[in-house]
Chain A
């Protein structure tokens, strides 16, 4: 009966109670949403590359190597010579090795030279392979395969011509040797989406007439002649390696890291990803902090709402007291009220989140390649909801204690 009356009392103040519950619901939805995005982003981040045992590049930091070889962020300062590459490839532990050559760009996208093996070896999201949405892999010297974002952003279709620019932000184009779009990859949610992939030889080919950053003046080797040339590169940027056995990884890594002819660095992608995430994690924690503050604000709002209702409800308290209710019962009544509001808000918030997730999921996937799972609430989320309800009960103690004191001081007859 007391529970029913508490409920009725809330219903009687439907508007203010409704606003309070809504505020709690929205804040809880925001908090859970951020949490979902965070775990989703973290998982998808860790899923950027899989199936590769080691990444090799010139000696630098492991995060830096990961950034340019996988995320194509930042500049490459040093290369790996072709001799070193071949030495590594010849190691008995190596099952496969895919070279990567970076340095040029097409519009805002990076150009990556590699071998067709890349399309078989590069795996993401726990072992998924790249698939062609249209066309096929590299075949001719001047073929290119573009990522889904490249195709969409620039409106490219199969067989469209592409001119690669020299360097990352320059106005000098390799316009004498245009490429043809041979394939367009399906969206992956990885940096591959934003990459223009060409053959390793093609990178050599377009630089035949170049020396460093400048074109050799007055010299344009005809394409026919280039096709006849030996286009083996002299250096590459990095390489992805798969070992024959997981047990070989550390041995090979040590061998590469102590390679004498050239300072090299081999990293385990998983370890480097984790290191990188720790850097990104600061922002992540800030985000969590902000959304937690929003929840706190909503609870404060509830506290203010209960406090401000106390004065007009002194009469009601006096009635409860006259009927035999202890001051403690009145305290409990107010805490119960807060818990009811918070529980409704929290449940509503969770529902809102799921509804929002169901609606926004395809859009989020399309825009960020982030596929958020709709799971039943995890233990962590249930814990969050419980904490919100507990915090509501706690924050209601202030108004409840005030009501307690009022009801003691008022006696039975409230002076009106």
Chain B
């Protein structure tokens, strides 16, 4: 059997501090190449779950495996490196280092991930991705802060996809865009994710996007969240 791109089992986690948000996730998997939309209301713990999956925070108990690697077996430093190697991350907005060029932004994850760097074709691949994502020619040398929000999000997609990591994690990547740009953005992103053969886990509170995905998951169905009233 193929290793799933992502699998969680019996995971529990709590933010530090008294009365912090805590969650538990008995089981959740994303198969290789699968595209999953995770739906949930604000504050339901979507971003927290993504932090766990990316290994930025460590689960208190249970297993989180990405592409066959159990994160709990890695040290914090190894987890950081592994994230660089295996996961492409796209945020809701402010994805890029504003002062750096588009090219530097796209190539940034490669400087922490030697294997991914070997797989990638450096600037050539970055340029190809930009073209495929319908970004204008000559954008590579521009400073990221000069770009429109939609362009910035597409550069973030290129950055996540460079070196074709097995898992792409996106936290509401299109919610900062207006409806028509959103459509086009998602089209382009899907095409490139498919091209790279990566799995996609995208978080949103917008159920209308569901049609494009292989599977739609309500977060309440996989998570038990506890939030002590503030």
Contacts and interface: CB of A to CB of B under 8 A. Distances in A.
A315 B144 CA distance: 14
Nearest to B90: A322
Contacts of A5: 97, 99-100, 104, 108
B94 interface: yes
B111 A8 contact: no
Interface in B78-119: 80-85, 89, 91, 94-100, 104, 107-109, 111-113
A319 B95 contact: yes
A323 B99 contact: no
Interface stretch (B50-58, B64-72, B192-200, B218-226): B50-58
B44 interface: no
B85 A324 contact: yes
A319 B96 contact: yes
A323 B96 contact: no
Nearest to B48: A411
Interface string A390-416: 000000000000000000010111001
Interface in B98-149: 98-100, 104, 107-109, 111-113
Given A1-B104, A319-B97, A324-B80, A412 B111 contact: no
B94 A324 contact: no
A328 interface: yes
Nearest to B54: A412
Interface in A321-336: 321-329
Nearest to A323: B109
B80 A412 contact: no
B109 A9 contact: no
Interface string B155-188: 0000100000000000100000000000000000
B47 interface: yes
Contacts of B57: 411
A328 B97 contact: no
B99 A8 contact: yes
> Contact size class for B?
20 to 34
A153 interface: no
A409 B77 CA distance: 16
Q: Is the interface of A mostly helix, strand, loop or mixed?
A: helix
Contact of A12 (B16, B80, B98, B171): B98
Given A1-B107, A12-B98, A315-B94, A325 B54 contact: no
Contacts of B47: 411-413
A323 B77 CA distance: 13
Residue in B47, B50, B100 with the greatest tally of chain A CB atoms within 10 Å:
B100
Given A411-B48, A411-B56, A322 B99 contact: no
B67 to A, nearest CB: 15
A42 B80 CA distance: 57
B104 A413 contact: no
B109 A324 contact: yes
Contacts of A409: 16
Nearest to B96: A319
A329 B80 CA distance: 11
A82 to B, nearest CB: 84
A4 interface: yes
A327 B79 CA distance: 11
A327 B107 CA distance: 19
B140 to A, nearest CB: 14
A323 B51 contact: no
Contacts of A382: none
A316 interface: yes
A409 B57 CA distance: 9
Given A1-B107, A413-B171, A324 B97 contact: no
Contacts of B94: 315, 319, 416
A2 B111 contact: yes
Nearest to A407: B56
Contacts of B77: 326, 328
Nearest to A326: B80
A9 B48 contact: no
A315 B112 CA distance: 18
Nearest to B83: A324
A321 B56 contact: yes
B62 to A, nearest CB: 18
Contacts of A322: 54, 56, 83, 89, 91
A147 B226 CA distance: 92
A43 interface: no
A11 interface: yes
Contacts of B111: 1-2
Contacts of A318: 91
Interface string A9-41: 101100000000000000000000000000000
8 contacts: A1-B104, A1-B108, A5-B99, A5-B108, A8-B100, A319-B95, A411-B57, A413-B50
The 4 closest A-B pairs by CB, nearest first: A324-B84, A324-B112, A12-B99, A411-B51
Interface of B: 16, 47-48, 50-51, 54, 56-57, 76-77, 80-85, 89, 91, 94-100, 104, 107-109, 111-113, 159, 171
